[in-house]
Structure 1
């Protein structure tokens, strides 16, 4: 009798925790998990700088690469926190100054790149603004850093805030990675921007515990880069528990980022009806068609985006914009569609990759000088860890 009551209770719990209303096109899950989120602010010590975070408090599943990549992967998403906006140069520079000062109580950090307060120009002639300088403005996402810089900076932020660093050089997870400069071997010659002068990835840099493959303390309470599944979840999850297609811009339910209403010859032969592109994707991010324009006088992060400092060197040029000037994803994350490129924690290997290492790291979203097709929520770049064209968004384990 007790077994019967237990089984009946389990069925009732399952029934009432599932959403059976409407069609669910995701074949990797038979019910919708309605997301639970919570917003918070994290204050940096001895400053008035704050980091806005959004915590996703439920456990769920997501199909990485859905509708975009030929090989997808279903991943369990544990509760996590991610920054509402891209990391600003103001925050980057404050932590960078602390980390490189060697002041009392601080073990000195070393960075390959000092970061830049924005970027402007087209793909063939992009330029970093105020690289390595003290901030001239507020709210402009940092860029001009490589993956190595990003993870080392996350460790510095964690130590500054009294949290446990995530990226370590030893399997005991006691020695944080504090140097983003790969010194082994000779540096390659004649490598232009955005690659900089960093030593290229090789099997030494990829050795476990080295700069391109540090040990990851998954239980640490410190800051880190988002995992791909966290970033895509933040981009695609909807308030009703559904997911937008991986072809859509983060938050845009109206359709894919690219497409055509006119069927190609192969579409006609195969009887495929093409899906027209979204007409509102431009409202979710900055790219080559709209980044020349001014943003609002009050972004979601509270900035006036009409005359940012990185616009001044080349008025009328494509440029990175201040945080929060476009529409957010349904969970409230801004600038996921296009502004600064964002490094993620993971290797950029195919989802059926069977080896432990890969030559490139994952970078998400399209940039301010890219086309709409790169707004796709499941789109990811594969860039070597020494490329200095990225920015970052922060993540943490949910408390």
Structure 2
């Protein structure tokens, strides 16, 4: 990783473990075993997104999360950053399939950047805690009651015990997983809550879904890598 990327997106090693997931809509619960992985200390910033993609950014706002980013945008960004850093891209994307959700595959042997799975995201968010949040909400998250109806720079609230900032609030974060393919087809999972959300959406277990082409001003993403 070059110096600029390292400064913008420090990666933290998350230990192996087991995480219990649940969905309130279906009343389903399941457990996932995880090996160690790396997760960025905060969401991808506008500065890093601009440097990799060339998308213009507002002057003086480079420490804000990159938002208005679709799931497909995030996948392409991960591959582009991997190539930039001399790593093997994780995702194999077929050029004609961005509406099907079947046009991308994950190379588990690749060492490049990727989106976290939702199990990885929840384990990292909880950081060893078992409550709905890893701290008092006003201390750890930008949400409707304290955000002033706007997005904020990354790292402005307290991190969790593992040094991860903005796991709750500020922007929702895309995960790799399909939400419920039998019911919602290609819709992907979003986690974490955003700056415009009420407190009940900013909890470690909350799942949201959206089409992978969806772009809106409270959705971003965070980088993951499989641990060496």
> Above 0.5 in TM-score?
yes
Q: 1:215 aligns with which of 82, 96, 105?
A: 105
The alpha-carbon deviation at position 134 of structure 1 amounts to 5.6
Of 159, 171, 174 in structure 1, the residue corresponding to residue 83 of structure 2 is 159
Deviations 1:276-328 (A, max 9, x none): xxxx3222111111001xxxxxxxxxxxxxxxxxxxxxxxxx11101111122
Structure-2 separation of matches of 1:134 and 1:236: 33
Which TM-score applies when normalising by structure 1?
0.53
Question: Does the aligned pair in 1 maintain the 2:115–2:221 contact within 8 Å?
Answer: yes
Contact 1:152 1:180 survives alignment (8 Å): no
CA contact (8 A) 1:43 1:51 kept: no
RMSD of aligned residue pairs (Cα, Å): 2.4
> Would you say the 8 A contact 1:43–1:50 is kept in 2?
no
Contact 1:226 1:345 in 2 (8 A): yes
Contact 1:149–1:180 (CA under 8 A) maintained in structure 2: no
Please name the residue that 2:174 is paired with. Answer: 343
Is 2:193 aligned against 1:362?
no
Partner of 2:221: 392
User: How far is the alpha carbon of 1:69 from its aligned partner?
Assistant: 6.6
**2:130 paired with 1:244:** yes
Matched, 1:289 2:120: no
Task: After TM superposition, give the deviation of residue 164 of structure 1 in Å.
Answer: 0.5
8 Å Cα contact 1:61-1:75 kept in structure 2: yes
Report the alpha carbon displacement of residue 67 of structure 1 after superposing the two structures with TM: 8.2
The reply on whether 1:140 has 2:64 as its aligned counterpart is yes
Q: Is the 8 A contact 1:319 1:368 kept in 2?
A: yes
Q: Over residues 134-160 of structure 1, what are the superposed CA-to-partner deviations in whole Å (9 max), with x where a residue is unaligned?
A: 643331110001001110110000001
| 1:371 and 2:227 correspond | no
SS at 2:9 equivalent = strand
Q: Whose relative contact order is higher, 1 or 2, with alpha carbons under 8 Å and at least 6 apart?
A: 2
TM-fit CA distance, 1:65: 2.1
When you count strand as a share of all residues, which structure comes out higher?
A: 2
Are 1:337 and 1:377, in contact at CA under 8 Å, matched by a contact in 2?
yes
Counterpart check, 1:234 vs 2:61: no
Unaligned runs of 5+ in 2: none
Deviation of 1:358 after TM superposition, in Å, equals: 2.8
CA distance in 2, matches of 1:180, 1:55: 35
Determine if the alignment matches structure 1 residue 91 to structure 2 residue 15. no
Instruction: Kindly indicate whether the alpha-carbon contact (under 8 Å) linking 1:84 and 1:334 is maintained by their aligned counterparts in 2.
Output: yes
For 2:44 and 2:114, the matched residues in 1 are separated by: 12
Equivalent position of 1:82 in the other structure: 39
Gaps of 5+ in 1: 1-41, 98-113, 115-131, 170-176, 183-200, 253-279, 293-317
Distance 1:74 1:329, change over 3 A: same
Mapped contact 2:115–2:222 kept (Cα < 8 A): yes
- Counterparts of 2:127 and 2:26, CA distance in 1: 18
